[in-house]
Amino acid sequence: MNSFSLRHGTPLRSMLDGPRGETMVVAFARVISASAALVVAAASARQLGPVGRGEIVFVVTVAILCTEFVNLGTNVSGRIEILRGMDTKIEDYLGLIVALVGVQTVLVATVLGIVGPTFFGSGVATCVIGVFLGAAMFLSHMLVDAAFAVRRTLQTGVRELLTGLVPVVIVVPVAVAGGLSVELVLALTALGYALGAVYLWGVVRSRSPKARFDPRTWRPIVGKGLPVFAGSVGQSVALRADRMLLGLLSTPAALGVFSVASTTAELPRLLLLPATQVLSNRIASGDIPHGTLKRIMLRLGFGYSALMVLVAMTGAAVVIPVAGSGFSGIRDLIGVLALGEGLFGVFLISTGVLAGLGMYRPLAVPGLFGAVVIVVVDLMVIPNHDEIGAAWVRVGGYGLMALMSLALVASAIRPSTRVLR
């Protein structure tokens, strides 16, 4: 057997099982998935226009926000507590996922049923597909953390590929044929999430033959997850409120342009998230000393800042020819949104460290504060300044979140050579 075999104990296997290998594999899969999503976004934007693209973004945003509300922060608390070897077991977490997906389905149906027809003229088919998307997204999202908890990090990359590639292989030929619709794009997006969830369920069940439905075992997960939930809600609102408020206070066209510009600026986040997740997991399992943490945070921060400079310089030139002339307003947005995304990257790195340390309560503060600031200021700015106003509000809100999270990390880390527990 040559040295590049993936058998256990060989050099390549050892490299992939390390933090750099895990980050590289998952990041590569997320880049492929994100690239596919960008193709879907461009194809739908070109054929359906800003209005159609705006409706798609609205439904997806509802599914994302409901996922963050319903999970109660248990995806983080469950993963970290399992990795730290506490009383929480993977079968308890799986049972909780199944219980919560019903809540997710009802919530998405309620929101889309009320808001969709009123503001976007969404039909029954769009709302029904949106409900399926919400359930599939929730399961897929929660099972990623389950895979992390049972140390199946590399397998989460397969989920990323399914989520991104399943829609694009059908959307592209249909778009070429001129038959694309809002309903079809949403249905294929939901299918990608559903297949990813089915795959990860099989991966996790190979380590835990059954889910345990005992509410008593869920209490510690939920109790420790609630502070994370508060922070996740704040973070999700901070991330998505401008899209929601543009849809309600401005026009679908403004939302469509803003969403394409935002997607472009946020694309490098697919590289940062695997790194912060692996960092958090390694801290929780006791593998990273204090001194190494500071160096890792600096490297991640500088690297992400360099990526955002590149996005600011080239994003509009790349995206506008693909999306079409109706999205020329991206030129005014991309630099501002890239600045905001760089600040958000600092926030993500810092909160990843706090989560790994098991410091659940402080996690809530920066996200909630930033969300309140962004929503309040957006309500004042968007009616008069539309998408460019929303972009600058994002910079201010993300900047505050970055400063607060850095301050919390600084207070938590002390020079030491001992391993974090």
Six-digit token string for 315:
């994003």
Quick one: how far is CA 5 from the chain centroid?
33
The string of pLDDT tens digits covering residues 182-210 is: 889 999 999 999 999 999 998 888 776 67
Torsion of CA 135, 137, 139, 144, to 10 degrees: 180
Residues with Cβ < 8 Å from 124, sequence gap 6 or more?
none
The string of pLDDT tens digits covering residues 299-309 is: 889 999 999 99
3-state secondary structure of 6: coil
In a domain, 5, yes or no: no
Is pTM beyond 0.85 here?
no
CA distances, 147 to each of 11, 77, 160, 184, 249 (Å)? 23, 14, 13, 30, 40
| pLDDT at position 421 over 50 | no
The string of pLDDT tens digits covering residues 6-54 is: 444 454 444 455 566 677 777 788 888 888 888 898 888 888 888 888 8
The Cα–Cα gap between 90 and 87 comes to 10
133, 190 contact by CB (below 8 A):
yes
125, 187 contact by CB (below 8 A):
no
Residues with Cβ < 8 Å from 197, sequence gap 6 or more?
136, 139, 140, 143, 159
In the chain, the percentage of residues whose pLDDT exceeds 90 is 27
In a domain, 115, yes or no: yes
The Cα–Cα gap between 310 and 333 comes to 15
In a domain, 415, yes or no: no
| pLDDT at position 347 over 90 | yes
In a domain, 419, yes or no: no
The string of pLDDT tens digits covering residues 363-412 is: 888 989 999 999 999 999 988 888 888 899 999 999 999 999 999 988 88
In a domain, 103, yes or no: yes
The string of pLDDT tens digits covering residues 217-241 is: 888 888 888 888 888 778 878 888 8
420 DSSP 8-state letter: P
Residues with Cβ < 8 Å from 374, sequence gap 6 or more?
237, 238, 241, 242, 393, 394, 396, 397
Six-digit token string for 348:
């993500």
Q: Which of 135, 100, 105, 111 is nearest to 59 (CA)?
A: 111
The Cα–Cα gap between 393 and 313 comes to 21
232, 367 contact by CB (below 8 A):
yes
Residue 345 is part of which domain span? 11-410
CA distances, 18 to each of 45, 80, 174, 278 (Å)? 40, 18, 41, 10
3-state secondary structure of 232: helix
In a domain, 420, yes or no: no
In a domain, 126, yes or no: yes
pLDDT, mean over the chain: 83
User: Based on the number of CB atoms within 10 Å of its own CB, is 375 exposed (0-12), middle (13-18) or buried (19 or more)?
Assistant: middle
Strand partners, 419: 289
Of the segments 56-65, 69-78, 81-90, 98-107, which one has the largest average pLDDT value? 98-107
| Single-letter amino acid code for the residue at 88 | T
In the chain, the percentage of residues whose pLDDT exceeds 70 is 90
In a domain, 186, yes or no: yes
The confidence band for 252, taking pLDDT boundaries of 50, 70 and 90, is: confident
| pLDDT at residue 19, rounded to an integer | 60
User: Can you state the percent helix, strand and coil of the chain, rounding each to 5?
Assistant: 85, 0, 15
Q: Which value, in Å, is the radius of gyration of the alpha carbons in the chain?
A: 21
Q: Report the number of distinct structural domains present in the chain.
A: 1
